[in-house]
Structures are given as structure tokens and as C-alpha cells.
Amino acid sequence: MEKWECLVCGYIYDPAEGDSEGGIPPGTPFEELPDDWVCPECGAAKEMFEKLEE
């Protein structure tokens, strides 16, 4: 699954890890995060994320 990077603070969302703080279980793809999910580091909205090119 693809990782996504927050263009505001550089936080990387890794689907394998999920986001325990935001109540997102491991294995959740970025596309399936709720619309009101925000970057756990800086609070930026989902639209501030871009797909990481591996």
C-alpha cells in the first residue's frame, strides 16, 4: 500500500501502521481515511497530503 506525505510538516502516513492517535487501525489505506481525519503532527487536512513516489 502507498505511503502519503503531509506537505505541511512532512509526516508520513504509512497504511501498515495506521494512526493510533486518530483511531485508525493498521492496514487502512490512505483513501479510506475519514474525510475529517487530520495530520497527527500538524493538523493539516487530508488534501494537504501527496502520494510518495517510491
Partner 1 sequence: MKFAIIGNGVAGINAARTLARSKPKATIDIYAEEPYPYYPRPRLLHLLAGEIQQEELYLYPKEWYEKRGIAVHLASKVMRIDPQRQQLALADGRQATYERLLLAMGSSPIRPPIKGLDRAEAFTLRSLDDALALSERARETQRAAVIGGGLLGLEAARALRELGLQVTVVELLPRLLPKQLDEEGSPILEKWIGALGIEVLLGSAVQEISRKGSAHHLTLKDGGSLEADLLLICAGATPNVQVAEEAGIEVQRGIVVDEYMRTSLPNIYAAGDVAQFEGRVYGIIPVALEQSRVASLNMSGQESVRYQGTLPATTLKVTRVDLTSIGVIEPRGEGYQELRKADEKKGVYKKLVLKEGRVVGAILLGDKKSAAPVSRLIMSEIEVSAYLDRLLDEDFDLKTLL
- Cell triple for residue 27? 492496514
Q: How many residues does the chain have?
A: 54
Per-residue contact string for residues 1-40; x = within reach of partner 1 by CB under 8 A:
----x-xxxx---------xxxx------------x---x
Please list the residues that pair with 29 across neighbouring strands: none
Q: Is 54 in the site for partner 1 (CB under 8 A)?
A: no
Judge whether 37 and 25 are in contact, CB under 8 Å.
no
- How many residues line the site for partner 1 (CB under 8 A)? 17
Residues at the interface with partner 1 (CB under 8 A): 5, 7-10, 20-23, 36, 40-45, 48
